[in-house]
Structure 1
Amino acid sequence: MESHMPVSMLDNDFYKFTMQQGVIRLFPYAKARYRFINRGRHSFPAGFAGHLRKAVDDMRLLALSREEKQYLQATCPYLDPLYLDFLEGYRYDPAEVVITQHGDQVAVDVEGSWYRCILWEVPLMYLICELYYRQGQPARISDDKVMAQTAAKIGSYRELGVTVAEFGTRRRFSYDVHHLVLKALRAYGEGAFVGTSNVHLAMQYNTKPIGTHAHEWFMFHAARYGFTMANAMGLEHWVQVYRGDLGIALADTYTSDVFFSQFDKMYAKLFDGVRHDSGDPLVFADKVIAHYQRLGIDPLSKTIIFSDALNYEKVARITEHCRGRINMSFGIGTNLTNDVGPPALNIVIKMTEACPHGKGWTPVVKLSDEYGKYTGDEQTILLAKSSLGIH
Structure 2
Amino acid sequence: MAKLISILDNDFYKFTMQYAVVKLFPKAKARYQFINRGKHEFPEGFAAKLTESIQALSKLKLTKEEKIFFAESCPYMDPTYFDFLQGYRYDPEEVKIEQTGCELSVKIEGYWYRTILWEVPIMSLICEIYYEMTGLQRVADEEVMHIVESKMDKYDKLDITIADFGTRRRHSFDVHDLVIKTLINHPSKTFIGTSNLFLAMKYNTKQIGTHAHEWFMFHAAKYGYKMANLLGLENWADVYLGDLGIALSDTYTTEAFFKQFNKKLTKLFDGVRHDSGDAIEFAQKTINHYLSLGINPLSKSIIFSDGLDYDKVEKISNYCKGKIGYSFGIGTDFTNDVGLPRMNIVLKMTEALPENGEWTPVIKLSDEPMKHTGDSKEIEMAKRYLHIDD
Query: Normalised by the size of structure 2, how large is the TM-score?
Result: 0.99
Deviation at 1:138, TM superposition (A): 2.1
Aligned-residue identity in percent: 59
Which deviates the most, 182-191 or 195-204?
182-191
Query: Does the 8 Å contact 2:222/2:357 carry over to 1?
Result: no
Q: Which residue of 2 aligns with 1:115?
A: 113
Q: Which residue of 1 aligns with 2:98?
A: 100
Q: Which residue of 2 aligns with 1:356?
A: 354
Q: Which residue of 1 aligns with 2:2?
A: 4
User: How do 1:237-252 residues align onto structure 2 when only pairs under 5 Å count?
Assistant: 237-252=235-250
Could you tell me which amino acid in structure 2 is paired with residue 294 of structure 1?
Answer: S
Q: Which residue of 2 aligns with 1:332?
A: 330
User: How do 1:218-367 residues align onto structure 2 when only pairs under 5 Å count?
Assistant: 218-357=216-355, 360-367=358-365
- Match of 1:231, SS state, is helix
Query: Does the 8 Å contact 1:72/1:79 carry over to 2?
Result: no
Deviations 1:269-310 (A, max 9, x none): 000000000000000000000000000000000000000000
- Structure 1: gaps spanning 5 or more residues: none
Q: Which residue of 1 aligns with 2:147?
A: 149
Q: Which residue of 2 aligns with 1:176?
A: 174
Deviations 1:296-341 (A, max 9, x none): 0000000000000000000000001100000100000000000101
Distance 2:136 2:241 in 1: 48
Deviations 1:134-161 (A, max 9, x none): 0123210000111111111122111111
- Structure 2: gaps spanning 5 or more residues: none
Deviations 1:57-85 (A, max 9, x none): 00000000000000011111112101110
Whether 2:197 is the aligned partner of 1:199: answer yes
Distance 2:210 2:244 in 1: 5
- Match of 1:274, SS state, is strand
Query: Does the 8 Å contact 2:275/2:305 carry over to 1?
Result: yes
- Match of 2:134, SS state, is coil
- Match of 1:160, SS state, is coil
Deviation at 1:5, TM superposition (A): 1.1
Deviation at 1:189, TM superposition (A): 5.2
Distance 2:200 2:256 in 1: 34
Distance 1:294 1:326 in 2: 14
Deviations 1:339-388 (A, max 9, x none): 10111100000000000016520000000000011000011111111111
Could you tell me which amino acid in structure 1 is paired with residue 297 of structure 2?
Answer: P
Could you tell me which amino acid in structure 1 is paired with residue 108 of structure 2?
Answer: V
Distance 1:282 1:270 in 2: 24
Give the aligned CA root-mean-square deviation in angstroms: 0.8
Could you tell me which amino acid in structure 1 is paired with residue 293 of structure 2?
Answer: L
The count of residues paired between Structure 1 and Structure 2 equals 389
Distance 2:315 2:68 in 1: 41
Whether 2:53 is the aligned partner of 1:55: answer yes
Query: Does the 8 Å contact 1:31/1:358 carry over to 2?
Result: no
Distance 1:265 1:180 in 2: 43
Distance 1:228 1:359 in 2: 18
Whether 2:145 is the aligned partner of 1:158: answer no
Deviation at 1:27, TM superposition (A): 0.2
Could you tell me which amino acid in structure 2 is paired with residue 67 of structure 1?
Answer: E
Could you tell me which amino acid in structure 1 is paired with residue 107 of structure 2?
Answer: D
Query: Aligned to 1:70, which of 68, 81, 102?
Result: 68
Q: Which aligned runs of 4 or more in structure 1 are off by greater than 6 angstroms? A: none
Could you tell me which amino acid in structure 2 is paired with residue 247 of structure 1?
Answer: G
The change in CA–CA distance for 1:189 and 1:116 in structure 2 (over 3 A counts) is farther
Deviations 1:157-208 (A, max 9, x none): 1111110000000000000000100010000053100000000000001000
Query: Does the 8 Å contact 2:33/2:349 carry over to 1?
Result: yes
Distance 1:15 1:79 in 2: 13
Distance 2:232 2:135 in 1: 41
Q: Which residue of 2 aligns with 1:381?
A: 379
Distance 2:134 2:276 in 1: 33
Query: Normalised by the size of structure 1, how large is the TM-score?
Result: 0.99
